[in-house]
Structure 1
């Protein structure tokens, strides 16, 4: 009699999260890669370019809470898949703005980036929700680190690609190419991703492994589909009443400030402050980004090993975050050298540290109340990506006022320090927050 086989479908799922998230970040990073060419055509100074770079995040932040409610009510697969289609169409439309007069093109592109931010709002709350369903607690650090490393891989892949396209064709072609590639991805998504208990290839042994280890395998299955919407102000206030969750949210704001520096101003910094061509920028930015990928995956592995050895969530999650943010502080050293090789090396170390410490989604998968995983992730992402609005604007203002990136690097380094303070002194013990249905509905 043959022994039942335990499948490993969850690894295919996290691979799909990594690919989809890479394309999502690729859509965000395109604007920074084409920023110089676009600025010349549309006559943008650093301040106006900062507004354009932040446009995505305005709607992205506002749409976070509705996105969380949609995920909890309609399930991750459907909402996430429609999101991919939505940003694909926005990317294609963005390319056509290049044929409009400069003032009109700026307004149209700003609006399309707003729309793209709104439709991409479910992506990372969806990632956190899917990982909570598909992975036991002891594997979540690795799984979350894999999809979170997509932000660095996006620069590795899309940086050189879009740098080559904008050099040999035009900036409009970058948006068209990204949009068409994402449309193909949406078709693959719908054929590959399912809820745990509905996946056609999963074995009962794997389902049991997930459930015994603390995975929420019943999410989006059967009666769970019929649960009422969690999107109420009472539920939001309840989440904000938890000091642990608020500390996690503040920490994520600070860590995301580093992310948005790397996604928006970093290629422009290499071009303007270090005098590289855009083609060279694409390749130069890929080395630090590769270090970010390595740091991100390593941080998840180390966190899971610490959890197995200590059985202490706080030690396992906080240690990589603190060490990683300390590494990210090294970017300030770029202000004290004119050697391009040293600059790239320091940025590579900063990227590595940012990746190593970017365990916020792991923490939120561990800490979110079971019945509000989508809403908790969306509120977490709302706080985090407020930095996506402010960071491009603040850096644009600093560069315009000082004519230099020096204070901008100090500001980003200060955000890394604040993340350390938040996790060490505000978060406290990391555990799953639990609220009764009466509390969620405001009847307790």
Structure 2
């Protein structure tokens, strides 16, 4: 009798819990916070490109010098990836990401004061150093995003989750480019650094109040936790710190990652995909102003269409990838198909060399960035394949390869412009990278699956 009552009561509780669970979507609030932070992240990266034309005239900087200043962010961003990933694995995303947001925002504010230094050499050095520090501070951001998504989302939702935070890079332009264009034209170029940096400092403290691991979140529903855990979410992420500290990462582990053909193919493709990103973040506004004769304010609004298309493409790519998984297609097929189709569309950037009207330019740029967004599933793939013991570090290594593009693209395009006086060669250079990414996923990556580290026994 008692057993029967217990079973009946348990069934009732289970029924209520399931009912309640449909209304508990804590993981989506976490994703919204990551989206906001990533949009701010890319807004801060784009401050320099939006200020570039008036700043270079004001300070007397040529295209090669600007190319090197553009690249300063990525030198540090690349250097900081592996240490940033290691810190995330050791101390967790909540703590490390807070310091990341706070510091990159503070250094962004400081950039707005460099013109007061007076001496041109000192100004150039300070600009390079501060952008370098912004890059160093931002280095844990995307490995942190990957760690949080791997913790909060089951595999079948991970493509969409990663696509959402990754597409924030385009939405950042939709939100911030017209606003920054207005600040530059109506106030002065320094103001965008003060406003964007100040906003980031405020948001860093909001992060501390919002982010927890699934097992520690004060509002997470038990059924939601069960759904995440049973679906492959690493719900203890960032909480088993003592265990992480005991098992130290060895160079042999990193060597294993670099020896994997699958991972190497993913890393190379990410470098190529990011080439399109960094063109957009650095030289694109300059291209619109100098090559296509737009004003700064027009360029700010013109950048919205490609960014919005990139955002829509990014969301669609993730949704379609996850839909294919739910249709029982293989993980490999579900991830590769949007990437390959997206990269094929991205090559349309080269068509801009053969059209003259501003409308046609914006159309083909929008098509290219829709494709780039649609195919930007690299972080979803990393959440699928990174070894469980090294999510942060694997993400750091992935981002090291990817953001080497931020060093190469600004400098190479700076030299192309200096040599030819035209963006034609630059657009071809960027378009070729989309093809290399496509071929990398077709011929190098192979089957997409979680990488297993080979461990050696220790006493």
Change (3 A) 1:209 1:411: same
Task: Quote the offset at 1:311 in angstroms.
Answer: 3.6
Q: What CA distance in whole angstroms lies between the structure 2 residues aligned with 1:352 and 1:229?
A: 42
2:379 aligns with one of 361, 376, 393? 361
What CA RMSD, in Å, does the superposition of the two structures yield over aligned residues? Answer: 1.4
| 1:267–1:282 contact (8 Å) kept in structure 2 | yes
> 146-155 vs 308-317, which deviates more?
308-317
Change (3 A) 1:228 1:269: farther
Aligned twin of 2:263: 245
Q: What CA distance in whole angstroms lies between the structure 2 residues aligned with 1:16 and 1:242?
A: 33
Change (3 A) 1:370 1:222: closer
Aligned length: 441
1:20 equivalenced with 2:23 (yes/no): no
1:322 equivalenced with 2:336 (yes/no): no
Aligned twin of 2:123: 105
Task: Quote the offset at 1:231 in angstroms.
Answer: 4.2
Matched residue of 2:450: which SS? coil
For residues 247-286 of structure 1, the aligned pairs below 5 Å read: 247-286=265-304
> 1-10 vs 352-361, which deviates more?
1-10
1:219 equivalenced with 2:240 (yes/no): no
| 2:154–2:227 contact (8 Å) kept in structure 1 | yes
| 2:269–2:436 contact (8 Å) kept in structure 1 | yes
Q: What CA distance in whole angstroms lies between the structure 2 residues aligned with 1:281 and 1:322?
A: 30
Gaps of 5+ in 1: none
| 1:197–1:217 contact (8 Å) kept in structure 2 | yes
Aligned twin of 1:417: 435
Q: What CA distance in whole angstroms lies between the structure 1 residues aligned with 2:107 and 2:235?
A: 33
Per-residue CA distance 1:17-68 (angstroms, 9 max, x = gap) = 1110111111100100000011012211111111111110001100111001
1:156 aligns with one of 163, 170, 174? 174
Per-residue CA distance 1:297-342 (angstroms, 9 max, x = gap) = 0000000011111341110000000100111111111100111100
Q: What CA distance in whole angstroms lies between the structure 2 residues aligned with 1:108 and 1:82?
A: 22
Q: What CA distance in whole angstroms lies between the structure 2 residues aligned with 1:79 and 1:358?
A: 25
Larger of the two Rg values belongs to structure: 2
TM-score scaled to structure 2, two decimals?
0.94
1:60 equivalenced with 2:56 (yes/no): no
2:141 aligns with one of 116, 119, 123? 123
Matched residue of 2:164: which SS? helix
Matched residue of 1:437: which SS? coil
1:178 aligns with one of 180, 193, 196? 196
1:347 equivalenced with 2:359 (yes/no): no
Aligned twin of 2:406: 388
Task: Quote the offset at 1:157 in angstroms.
Answer: 1.2
1:45 aligns with one of 35, 56, 62? 62
Task: Quote the offset at 1:227 in angstroms.
Answer: 3.8
Task: Quote the offset at 1:181 in angstroms.
Answer: 0.4
> 123-132 vs 428-437, which deviates more?
428-437
Task: Quote the offset at 1:223 in angstroms.
Answer: 6.0
| 2:91–2:241 contact (8 Å) kept in structure 1 | no
Task: Quote the offset at 1:103 in angstroms.
Answer: 2.0
Q: What CA distance in whole angstroms lies between the structure 2 residues aligned with 1:255 and 1:223?
A: 34
Task: Quote the offset at 1:171 in angstroms.
Answer: 1.2
Aligned twin of 1:36: 53
Matched residue of 1:52: which SS? helix
| 2:283–2:410 contact (8 Å) kept in structure 1 | yes
| 2:253–2:453 contact (8 Å) kept in structure 1 | no
Matched residue of 1:34: which SS? helix
Aligned twin of 2:4: none
Change (3 A) 1:141 1:162: same
Aligned twin of 2:89: 72
| 1:293–1:355 contact (8 Å) kept in structure 2 | yes
TM-score scaled to structure 1, two decimals?
0.97
Task: Quote the offset at 1:75 in angstroms.
Answer: 0.4
| 1:42–1:103 contact (8 Å) kept in structure 2 | no
Task: Quote the offset at 1:152 in angstroms.
Answer: 0.6
| 2:47–2:180 contact (8 Å) kept in structure 1 | yes
